[in-house]
Amino acid sequence: MTPTATSASSAVPAETGRTLAADAPFFIVMNAGSGRRQSDATRTVLERELGAAGRRFDLRIVDDPRKLASVAREAAAAACAQEGVLVGAGGDGTLCAVAQAAHEAGCPFAVLPRGTFNYFSRDHGIPADPEQSTKLLLDARAWPVQVGFVNERMFLVNASLGLYPRLLEDREIYKRQFGRSRIVALWSALSTLLKPHRHLRLHIEHEGSTTEIRSSTLFVGNNRLQMEQIGMPDEARALERGLLVAIAPRPVGRLMHLWLSLHGAAGRLSDSEHVVSFTFGRITVMHPSKKWKRIKIATDGEVARLPMPLEFRVSDKPLLLLKPEPAVAEANRS
């Protein structure tokens, strides 16, 4: 399968910001997995910045990750009822779970970045500094942004199957042992890539035709910053046209996988002849064996099992995100 310039029927409409009511309350859902100290620090900043501005907020700290989605839905319902904003505080996985609740309810969404990589917030120019991101809540407008889906599961940054979900599971084991940092994440990735892995045979339906690919992983991206960092600028620009990007390494050995990863880390992945990429608005992924009923899927760092076939698509409805004005957001991207 070769790269294609597909036109999207579900692209995010031309950007127009929505101004919120000056007294709109904030319903903040935070994953306590980041640590009690960070939770206390977040509450202190909220009380200082929002309290000084006379803005109401409701902070809901989730101690059990299994309850994150249900707490987010409850907070989204409250936000809709009071014409408020649903806010996610955490890394990309937490933000995605809370964002899906906002997307389903139709209320504005905002983020307080608390993760390791923070691809979503960085791509939209939202400051990582707790005080700055909290102050942004007070006067930012809500802008439509693109989100992707695999079946009924939403993703803000990326979704994948094959080797990548295994890499994420191994990374969590390393984090529990050595703590959360980019160095630990990279070391874990190198360790996983050097382990034996199998190649998947996948049938991909795209615009009326079916293509078979063999690869260790299928990666679907929805984040300009991530695409640019691995050296795929053309694919990054395709996201601005309402498309998603699929990337799959050709069948190669472990050392070549490691080499490809290093190439990506150096921002030169598009130079490699061992990688297939294409853009799309919607694809269906199937496995030729009927025994494959469910498969592990990673969405924004969270792993789950989803039923086959898999449908990857751009959502027809954008997410309304509180973020800086376009020129400021672009200047803040890093």
pLDDT at residue 288 in the model:
78
pLDDT, residue 198, reads: 73
Pick 37 or 293 by higher pLDDT.
Answer: 293
Cα 156 from Cα 158, distance rounded (Å): 6
Q: How far apart are CA 227 and CA 236, in angstroms?
A: 5
Whether 274 shows a pLDDT value over 90: the answer reads no
pLDDT score at 115: 84
Q: Residue 82: pLDDT above 50?
A: yes
In words, the CATH class of domain 26-147+317-332 is alpha beta
Specify whether the CB–CB gap between 142 and 18 falls below 8 A: yes
Cα–Cα distance between 210 and 172 in angstroms, integer?
A: 35
CATH, domain range 158-314? 2.60.200.40
Q: Do domains 26-147+317-332 and 158-314 have the same CATH topology?
A: no
Whole-number pLDDT of residue 211: 92
Domains of the chain, residue spans: 26-147+317-332, 158-314
Whole-number average pLDDT of the chain: 85
Half-sphere exposure of 298 (CA within 13 A, CB side): 23
pLDDT tens profile 113-170: 988 789 999 999 999 999 999 999 999 999 999 999 999 999 999 999 987 777 776 6
CA distance 221 to 236: 9
Percent of the chain at pLDDT exceeding 90: 59
Fill in the DSSP letter of residue 140. Answer: P
The verdict on whether omega for the bond into residue 3 sits within 30 degrees of 0, i.e. cis, is: no
pLDDT digits (tens, 9 = 90+) for 286-319: 987 766 789 999 999 899 999 999 999 999 999 9
Least confident of 21-30, 100-109, 205-214: 205-214
Q: What percent of the chain has pLDDT over 70?
A: 78
Residue 60 in 3-state DSSP?
Answer: strand
Pair of tokens at residue 194: 């050097």
pLDDT score of 189: 61
- At 5, is the pLDDT very low, low, confident or very high (cuts 50, 70, 90)? very low
* CA–CA distance, 227 with 210 (Å, rounded to integer): 25
Residue 263: pLDDT band with limits 50, 70, 90: very low
pLDDT class of 255 with cuts at 50, 70, 90: very low
Q: From CA 23, how far away is CA 42, in angstroms rounded?
A: 21
pTM of the predicted model, to two decimals?
Answer: 0.86
Query: 66 burial class (0-12, 13-18, 19+ CB within 10 angstroms)?
Result: exposed
pLDDT at 62 over 90: yes
- Residue range 176-234, pLDDT digits in tens: 666 666 676 665 666 665 565 677 899 999 988 999 998 888 999 999 999 999 888 99
